Amino acid sequence: MSSTEKLIARQEDFNEWYNSLVLKAELADYGPARGTMIVRPYGWALWENIQAALDKRFKATGHENAAFPMFIPKSFLEKEAKHVEGFAPELAIVTIGGGEELTEPLVVRPTSETIIGHAYAKWVQSYRDLPILINLWNSVVRWELRTKLFLRTLEFFWQEGHTAHASAEEAQAETRQMLDVYTDFAINEAAVPVIPGEKSENERFAGAVQTFTIEAIMGDGKALQSGTSHYMGQNFAKAFDIKFLNKNGVQEYCATTSWGLSTRFIGAIIMTHGDDNGLIMPPRLAPIQSVIVPIFKSNESERNAVLSAGDAIYQELSDLSVRVKLDARDNLSPGFKFNEWELKGVPVRIEIGPRDLQNNTVMISRRDRPGKEGKQIVARDQLGATVLSLLVEIQKAMLDKATAFRNANIHDVTNYDDFKTAISSGFARVWWAGSSIDETRIKEETKATLRCFPLDQPNGTGTCFLTNKEAHRVAIFGKSY
């Protein structure tokens, strides 16, 4: 697909807009096997920045990185009943290796709780061995039937944290701490105003006692589960015999947690911020924060002067730790370059030509404000300070805009008819006292799911919009991908 081909408008066909943008902006491509994804360098650079922002937070909270095998004995998954039941339809299983049938089939990891549990059972003997705070950066395989680049693919990249603790209280605190880490990352790095909350029993991770989530609203009003944190209680500890002697010399089971955020979050960034012209990258995560486009004619001396000025700007911004690119390609017109970098969502574009050299100025365009509104002429000696200030300003403006959109598309409803209207274009916020059966009925009738019970709850009680029973919690419902 040519990058010069205009995107379809988001309002016309959001799904097609998303698919074509991922391809045209060179974030990813389709792999040769059905449902697989090739992450291209520009997409991987974005993922690396996401990794760096999260990894710093993980290490600041005492976690260490490790690596575990991708092949898991099938019997491991069968040890925790709810876990195997939840993942059975999605498993990829290896039965032949080296030309011979395996004595026990191996599962390509859909997640690592089981193999982690096996290792922790060997490593933990005493309360002095706890807590174990480990994170993995890897890929996992889930045999999805309906796939979509970044959002749902056979293999995807993520981080998965796995911890073991001496008490339920400590494990529960860890679960909530990591939810807070995800919330902080989403809001302050990606400018995605997520709603942190707890999942219902129906939507809980297979084998978990509690699942917490950050839920985001996309540009078409649909929900995207953007990261989850699970309190496992002693379920996996009992299944894998993770026991320790406590301070009183009594043997007991550990309490464990797991938590993860994946390349799906790239989809969240695209669908939260993108517009009809392409991506809009939040500056703190953008692979390229500023691009310099030199403008010159065929005159050799003019070309050399402009490129020399571009080199000087590149060096100045690099020294200020700005991720900057000088686009010196001479086989493409400035207009083509403008469109390409707009498509790729680079926050700040700097144009410099012969007239700018004469006036000792540059033209700056900010991606989040297309057209004349986002342009300004800046004195050359003020360029560095202006770019740094703009990156901060753009980050805030993107969060403010996304937050305003989220708030405008969360509808408080008190009856089922209004509920159906609300979830056709956004979220429905309701008082909820329904059962799991009621929740399933809503899903079957409207395709909306209970996204979460927000941590931020109103005081008092209300009336359940569906059952008319007294309700003690507010829930968010929405359609998802």
Residue range 80-117, pLDDT digits in tens: 767 667 777 889 999 999 999 999 999 999 999 999 99
pLDDT band per the 50, 70, 90 thresholds, residue 2: low
Residue 96 placed within a domain: yes
Residue 4 placed within a domain: no
pLDDT band per the 50, 70, 90 thresholds, residue 78: confident
Q: Find tokens 């686009």 and name the residue.
A: 327
pLDDT band per the 50, 70, 90 thresholds, residue 1: very low
The region of weakest confidence among 63-67, 166-170, 259-263, 368-372 is 368-372
Question: What would the pLDDT profile of 425-481 be if each residue is shown by its tens digit?
Answer: 999 999 999 999 999 999 999 999 999 999 999 999 999 999 999 999 999 999 998
Question: What would the pLDDT profile of 257-292 be if each residue is shown by its tens digit?
Answer: 999 999 999 999 999 999 999 999 999 999 999 999
**Percentage above 70 pLDDT, the chain:** 98
Which residue has better confidence, 4 or 36?
Answer: 36
- Residues 141 and 268 reside in one and the same domain: yes
Residue 342 placed within a domain: yes
Domain count, the chain: 3
- Residues 145 and 176 reside in one and the same domain: yes
- Residues 210 and 350 reside in one and the same domain: no
Kindly report the CATH number assigned to the domain that includes residue 459: 3.30.110.30
Residue 402 placed within a domain: no
pLDDT on residue 87: 74
Question: What would the pLDDT profile of 286-340 be if each residue is shown by its tens digit?
Answer: 999 999 999 998 788 999 999 999 999 999 999 999 999 999 998 999 999 999 9
Q: Which of 472, 387, 429 is nearest to 217 (CA)?
A: 429
Strand partners, 363: 351, 377
pLDDT on residue 206: 86
Question: What would the pLDDT profile of 116-136 be if each residue is shown by its tens digit?
Answer: 999 999 999 999 999 999 999
- Residues 266 and 154 reside in one and the same domain: yes
Q: Which of 404, 445, 455 is nearest to 424 (CA)?
A: 445
pLDDT of 182 over the 70 cut? yes
- Residues 81 and 153 reside in one and the same domain: yes
Mean pLDDT of 142-154: 91
- Residues 355 and 443 reside in one and the same domain: no
Residue 404 placed within a domain: no
pLDDT on residue 144: 84
- pTM for this prediction: 0.95
Residue 265 placed within a domain: yes
What domain range includes position 294?
290-391
Residue 243 placed within a domain: yes
